Structure 1
Amino acid sequence: MNYLVYILAYPFLWLFSRIPFALFYIFSDFMYYLLYYVVGYRKRTVRKNLELAFPNLNKEERLEIEKKSFRHLCDTFLEMAKTISLPEKEMRKRFQFTNLDYLLELEKENKSIMLFCAHYANWEWTIVLGNQINFQGFAVYKKINNPYFDAFIKRTRSRFNTILIEIKETIRVVRKNEIDKKHGVYAFISDQSPMVSQTNYWHEFMGIEVPVYTGGEALVKKYDITPLYLKVEYVSRGHYKATFVPLLNEDEVLKEIPNYEITNRFLKEVEKQLIEAPEYYFWTHKRWKHRGKKPKNL
């Protein structure tokens, strides 16, 4: 059954990826109408998240953000399909790094680099970085249950010399690379909501205490990896820019930084973007579902 679903869906995805951008976004507008007004996909979740994150805004203001976020959600998911066949030259034009030289200078320090990323703007197109750096690029991802689609996603996201690592394999891969002195640039999506039972740290995010992933920071400290926030911003439809933001000041020593401080700084950077332009965040994700459930021993 998994294979049948794959062979039926793949031709459609490939053909769709070849549609010119002008027609592409007309289809996205149609999908927005269908998703928001007909299906109502996770509308209740988005509405609740916006109420929690922006209690200072009135209902009309939050509704405007809600609608814009659904429009952008449709664009983002359809742009993921574009990744299948979009030429590298075109993707570089549409997803530009504002301070790539800064990253290349950091590589000269012969230390691996950790990119803390968020579900903001189009985080998927970060893979185009792979052929623009000297280190090997790695992206941590969650394995898809359908093995054929999982292999397809790995092929698609690896087009520009980025290696995908399953979440459970991350520690092993980083450890081996560091032992072998094969430095890499690792991209982590770090704003997700972990299971309460697997969490050892909680922190406020948009004013609400939630469980937080700290695996990225743990690897940074254990292997002396340089931590950066990848700030992805919306420029115009189908165009984005990304900036490497240091999470460690030049006069700071990593081993002297208090535990979880790198994670806190990452969350603060994400908050800045949400406050400035909330419509480009992935509000359908239940980021605050564990609020109020913090164990007493933490």
Structure 2
Amino acid sequence: MNLGNRIVSFFVFIISLLPFWVLYCLSDFLFFILYYVVGYRKKVVYENLSNSFPSKSDEEIKQIAKNFFVFLSDMIIETIKMRTITAKEVEKRMVVHATHEIYRHLEQGKPVIGTTAHYSNWELGIHRLSLMLKDPLLIIYKPLSNKGFEQTFNNIRSRFNAQMVPMKQTLRQILAYENTPHMSMFLSDQTPARSESSFFTPFLGQDTLMFLGMEKIAKRTDFPVVYCHINRIRRGYYECTFSTLFETPKATDNHEITLAYNKYLEKLIHDKPEQWLWSHRRWKHKPSA
């Protein structure tokens, strides 16, 4: 880790020691900077929202965008807080529901394929899952170009023993635990490179290039697929509800798992659009003619 990354890591640690009420004051200031001063990816956010909700007025789109930036600022600050947050505080701030949808599979000796999205506070969800499970938890992630930042944030994510697995090592790591009850978590709404996928499907009314890795691994292993829906209740407080999407993935048709995932996520986004990551360039790839 170079000097610059060490300095960033140090300041992340110092800021994380502040109490939540101070952190949310910082979040309010960060929102002002991102939204009014810098205009961080405003064009991308407005374009994504307008294309996803063509029936909404300009004023409605602007309000969703503003609510999103308020949420994004809180998300950034809460992720920093994860550096030193206690286990007790994590459990207080994220309540879990329908945990039997995870435990019943693990208690039968079946590993679980978990899937979620860049929706609500998925980062805090890593800590909550880590504390909930006695079995190994593998977090599948897309490596960053800045390896220093990657190391900093992976150290935060793995504080309660989650194992960080780069995407290209996913199958090897899952098969290493094939005969051991465990859970592998996928953020399945990421944007693949054109070399990584050629499957486009409608999502939020737009042709969308999809990763098929989660589906392929589920069908190969026949591990049940469980969606982890994280929802913001109020500022700083969340709930996570588990739902089994597929008990026997091998019995599904090609793309059935991916399409079911999309449909599930679309409903969540329509219900509370401000909680999804609109600043992400999700539709930068277009299908061939």
Query: For residues 259 and 7 of structure 2, what CA distance do their matches in structure 1 show?
Result: 44
Q: How far did 1:240 drift? A: 0.7
Letter of the 1:36 counterpart: Y
Match of 2:223 in 1: 225
> Match for 1:285 among 251, 262, 280?
280
Match of 1:122 in 2: 121
Matched residue SS, 2:185: strand
| Alignment check: 8 A CA contact 1:122 1:232 kept | yes
Match of 1:37 in 2: 36
| Alignment check: 8 A CA contact 2:101 2:243 kept | no
Q: How far did 1:147 drift? A: 3.5
- Whether 1:267 and 2:266 are equivalent positions in the alignment is no
| Alignment check: 8 A CA contact 1:107 1:134 kept | no
Query: For residues 199 and 147 of structure 2, what CA distance do their matches in structure 1 show?
Result: 33
1:72-91 counterparts in 2 under 5 A?
Answer: 72-91=71-90
Query: For residues 195 and 154 of structure 2, what CA distance do their matches in structure 1 show?
Result: 29
1:208-223 counterparts in 2 under 5 A?
Answer: 208-223=206-221
TM (normalized to structure 2)? 0.96
Moved over 6 A (4+): none
Query: For residues 200 and 112 of structure 1, what CA distance do their matches in structure 2 show?
Result: 28
Q: How far did 1:184 drift? A: 1.5
Q: How far did 1:185 drift? A: 0.4
Matched residue SS, 1:57: coil
Q: How far did 1:155 drift? A: 1.9
Query: For residues 226 and 295 of structure 1, what CA distance do their matches in structure 2 show?
Result: 34
1:21-36 counterparts in 2 under 5 A?
Answer: 21-36=20-35
Residue ranges of structure 2 left out of the alignment (5+ in a row): none
Letter of the 1:119 counterpart: H
Query: For residues 175 and 73 of structure 2, what CA distance do their matches in structure 1 show?
Result: 37
- Whether 1:192 and 2:190 are equivalent positions in the alignment is yes
Deviations 1:260-285 (A, max 9, x none): 11111111111001111101110000
Which is worse superposed, 48-57 or 191-200? 191-200
Match of 1:245 in 2: 243
Residue ranges of structure 1 left out of the alignment (5+ in a row): none
Query: For residues 147 and 51 of structure 1, what CA distance do their matches in structure 2 show?
Result: 34
| Alignment check: 8 A CA contact 1:130 1:137 kept | yes
| Alignment check: 8 A CA contact 2:249 2:257 kept | no
1:139-218 counterparts in 2 under 5 A?
Answer: 139-178=139-178, 181-218=179-216
Matched residue SS, 2:195: helix
Query: For residues 69 and 28 of structure 1, what CA distance do their matches in structure 2 show?
Result: 13
Q: What is the root-mean-square deviation in Å for CA atoms of aligned residues?
A: 1.4
Letter of the 1:91 counterpart: V
Over 3 Å counting, the alpha-carbon distance change for 1:200 and 1:186 in structure 2 is same
Query: For residues 145 and 94 of structure 2, what CA distance do their matches in structure 1 show?
Result: 29
Q: How far did 1:237 drift? A: 0.5
Query: For residues 40 and 245 of structure 1, what CA distance do their matches in structure 2 show?
Result: 37
Letter of the 1:214 counterpart: L
| Alignment check: 8 A CA contact 1:104 1:134 kept | no
Matched residue SS, 1:197: coil
Q: How far did 1:8 drift? A: 1.7
| Alignment check: 8 A CA contact 2:186 2:214 kept | yes
Query: For residues 113 and 217 of structure 2, what CA distance do their matches in structure 1 show?
Result: 9
- Whether 1:46 and 2:39 are equivalent positions in the alignment is no
| Alignment check: 8 A CA contact 1:196 1:294 kept | no
Query: For residues 208 and 59 of structure 1, what CA distance do their matches in structure 2 show?
Result: 19
Letter of the 1:30 counterpart: F
| Alignment check: 8 A CA contact 1:233 1:241 kept | yes
Query: For residues 257 and 28 of structure 1, what CA distance do their matches in structure 2 show?
Result: 44
Query: For residues 30 and 209 of structure 1, what CA distance do their matches in structure 2 show?
Result: 36
Match of 1:255 in 2: 250
Deviations 1:221-271 (A, max 9, x none): 1011110111111101011111111112x6xx4322111111111111110
Query: For residues 103 and 124 of structure 2, what CA distance do their matches in structure 1 show?
Result: 19
